[in-house]
Structures are given as structure tokens and as C-alpha cells.
Amino acid sequence: DTGVSQNPRHKITKRGQNVTFRCDPISEHNRLYWYRQTLGQGPEFLTYFQNEAQLEKSRLLSDRFSAERPKGSFSTLEIQRTEQGDSAMYLCASSNDRGNSPLHFGNGTRLTVT
């Protein structure tokens, strides 16, 4: 169990640029989640996958956000035409396919949009 890995750890980008983050879950986990967290707030749900299927996407997520998990292993989260309001910590978590399975979080990618 090597844990959930996220890359990069930090990303600074200019407004209007596109960014992509990667998450490698724990290998035997078939559920993968993306959350966004700003200072002093709880993780805000963005989307989740079961294997390669994206089962739910937050209504708060604009069309500029897209996520993929092409082979049911790693996942990418892309933000197009970044805005300053996108600045946050983006957390990835994985779990087994049971409602009583804990989420294992990665250390996150901190995005700063200037």
C-alpha cells in the first residue's frame, strides 16, 4: 500500500491557462474521488468514479472542469481557462467499493491562479 499519490504538489498558473492534475489511487481501490478545499472549509465534492465510469459530478462544477479515469486506474482533472476563484487545494481520494470503506486521501495539489 503505497498510498494515494497526486502530482504536481503545487501549480501556479496565469488566469486563462489550462491545468491538469493527476491522481494515482491505491491499486486495489476501484472508487476514486476528487474534492476541492479552500482555507477553513471542508472538502467540497467535485466528482467520483467507480472503475472507469464517472458516476456523479457536482452541479457546482462548471463546464471548464473535466475529469477522466480512462483505464480505471489513475485519474486526471483538467481545468480550462482558469480563473482566480479556482485557486484551492485539489484533493484526490480512493476507496474500496463499499459504503463503509474509508477514503484514503492524497496530499493534494495546491493551485494558485494569478
Partner 1 sequence: QQPVQSPQAVILREGEDAVINCSSSKALYSVHWYRQKHGEAPVFLMILLKGGEQKGHEKISASFNEKKQQSSLYLTASQLSYSGTYFCGTVYNNNDMRFGAGTRLTVKP
Q: Which is nearer to partner 1, 66 or 80 (CB)?
A: 66
Write out the residues near partner 1 by the rule CB under 8 A. 33, 35, 40-45, 48, 55-56, 91, 98-100, 102-108
At closest approach, how far in Å is the CB of 27 from partner 1? 18
At closest approach, how far in Å is the CB of 42 from partner 1? 4
18 Cβ neighbours under 8 A, 6+ residues apart: 78, 79, 80, 81, 82
Q: Which is nearer to partner 1, 20 or 103 (CB)?
A: 103
Strands 109-113 and 53-57 come out as: unpaired
Alpha carbon 48 to chain centroid, angstroms: 9
Q: Which is nearer to partner 1, 73 or 107 (CB)?
A: 107
At closest approach, how far in Å is the CB of 6 from partner 1? 9
Q: Which is nearer to partner 1, 5 or 20 (CB)?
A: 5
At closest approach, how far in Å is the CB of 16 from partner 1? 29
Burial 70-96 (b: 16+ CB within 10 A, else e): eeeebbebebeebeeebbbbbbbbbbe
